[in-house]
Amino acid sequence: MPTAAGLHLSEKQFAELRKIVYDRAGIHFQDTKKYVLESRLARRLEELEFDDFDQYLMFLTAGPYQTEEFQEMFNRITINETSFFRNEPQLDVFEQRILPELLEKRSATKRLRIWSAACSSGEEPYTLAMQIHRSLGVRLADWKIEILGTDISEKVLNQATNGVYPRYAVRSVCPMVLKQYFKEENGQYLLDPEIQSMVHFEVLNLKDRFAAKRFGTWDVIFCRNVMIYFDDAMKTACAKLYHDQLADDGTLFIGHSETLRNLDVAFEQIDIPQAFAYRKAIN
């Protein structure tokens, strides 16, 4: 169906566009999702004063502004749904089981590295920062904690860096935590600067394994609710990347509707209900 502006994405244009998106980012748009690309990019075509998607495809693939336009496109076509303390039972496993073990194991170096891959507007890595902050208390000063949030969309990472959130983002945060780590101002929630300073953000496309490798090895990787947009080949590539970048005694957390089963990667699931977590398999 044409958009309000009368822009129509034909089947041929859809096939071309979704191949470009897949090749670049591994995001697989199913046949039924043509309207998503059509409606989300229509405004962009209007801004560029293009009459049809052929012009846009040409601009995207042959023009001098390809790199910038890919970023612009991913800002618009990605689904960025997230919230603070999303899937709390899983986060309880992190805080009460995995984190204390890790703090014990790293007590000599006092160094902990956590990667939130595909973090959207930052709610996930900031949640982890709050959990670490309250777990360590005054001991935090003795530790070097690195938390990195990455995403393909620059737009959501700018929101993350601002640290200002609408009520919707904090809907699952209990009143005590809300009071401790946020300041309400005109219906917006401003994150505590100390928690903000614990997290660093970078644009990173999970398809680009070499870019991911430059960040080194992680004790914990959270990669939740992004593999649902990938096909098996891209899921496998991601799982291999996490395997390479995870410490031998590290933990990988994935989304509750995701699985690594049937993928050819040496991970074994941790046997804790609600954890949706994996460790490297020991041969």
Active-site residue identified among 24, 40, 43, 97: 40
Stretch that binds ligand SAM, among 94-102, 119-127, 128-136, 185-193 (CB under 6 A): 119-127
CB of 212 to ligand SAM, least distance (A): 9
Residues 143-182 contacting ligand SAM, CB under 6 A? 151-153, 156
Sheet holding 182-185, edge to edge: 164-166, 188-191, 182-185
Q: Count other C-beta atoms under 10 Å from residue 112's C-beta.
A: 20
Decide if 151 is catalytic.
yes
Closer by beta carbon to ligand SAM, 13 or else 82: 82
Which burial class, exposed, middle or buried, applies to 31 when counting CB atoms under 10 A from its CB (0-12, 13-18, 19+)? exposed
Catalytic residue among 86, 113, 151, 219: 151
Are residues 246 and 268 in contact, defined by beta-carbon separation less than 8 angstroms? no
Is 13 a binder of ligand SAM (CB under 6 A)?
A: no
- Find the binding residues for ligand SAM in span 196-215 (CB under 6 A): 205-207
Burial class (CB in 10 A: 0-12, 13-18, 19+), 73: buried
Compute how many residues bind ligand SAM; rule: CB under 6 A.
25
CA distance to 48, 51, 90, 130, 195, per residue, from 175 (Å)? 45, 50, 20, 14, 17
Q: What is the DSSP code string of 149-184?
A: EEES-HHHHHHHHHTEEEGGGGTTS-HHHHHHHEEE
Task: Find the binder of ligand SAM among 148, 226, 241, 252 (CB under 6 A).
Answer: 226
Tokens standing for residue 54: 């052929």
Q: Choose which of 21, 26, 127, 278 interacts with ligand SAM (CB under 6 A).
A: 26
- Check residue 233 for interaction with ligand SAM (CB under 6 A): no
- Which of 124, 148, 160, 241 lies at the binding interface for ligand SAM (CB under 6 A)? 124
Q: Is 81 in the site for ligand SAM (CB under 6 A)?
A: yes
Helix (H) or strand (E) holding 147: strand 144-151
Binding to ligand SAM by residue 79, rule CB under 6 A? Answer: yes
Q: Assess whether 40 carries a catalytic annotation.
A: yes
Told to check if 27 binds ligand SAM by CB under 6 A, we report yes
The interface with ligand SAM within residues 241-280 (CB under 6 A) comprises 255
Pull the structure tokens for residue 18. 């979704």
Question: How many angstroms separate the CA atoms of 14 and 74, rounded?
Answer: 16
Query: Could you give the 3-state DSSP secondary structure of residue 214?
Result: coil
Please select the residue that binds ligand SAM; options are 90, 120, 127, 251, rule is CB under 6 A: 120
Which positions lie near ligand SAM, rule CB under 6 A? 25-27, 78-82, 86, 118-120, 124, 151-153, 156, 205-207, 224-226, 229, 255
Q: What residues are annotated to the active site?
A: 40, 151
